Amino acid sequence: PHLCDFLESHYLNEQVEAIKKLGDHITNLTKMDANTSKMAEYLFDKHTLESKS
């Protein structure tokens, strides 16, 4: 039980948050029609990656 609690509290929540963010990004790209619009893809990259650097 201790190992499960440790893994859940230290890793599971981070993984859930990362999966949620990825899902949100996919939704945004789909709404922006990034498959056909290179400008949409560029803007998405610029605004999502710019805040990381």
- Annotated binding-site residues for Fe cation read 15
- Residue 33 sits at the vertex; the CA angle it makes with 14 and 48, to the nearest 5 degrees, is 40
- Residue 16 sits at the vertex; the CA angle it makes with 29 and 32, to the nearest 5 degrees, is 5
Annotated binding residues, as ranges? Answer: 15
DSSP 1: -
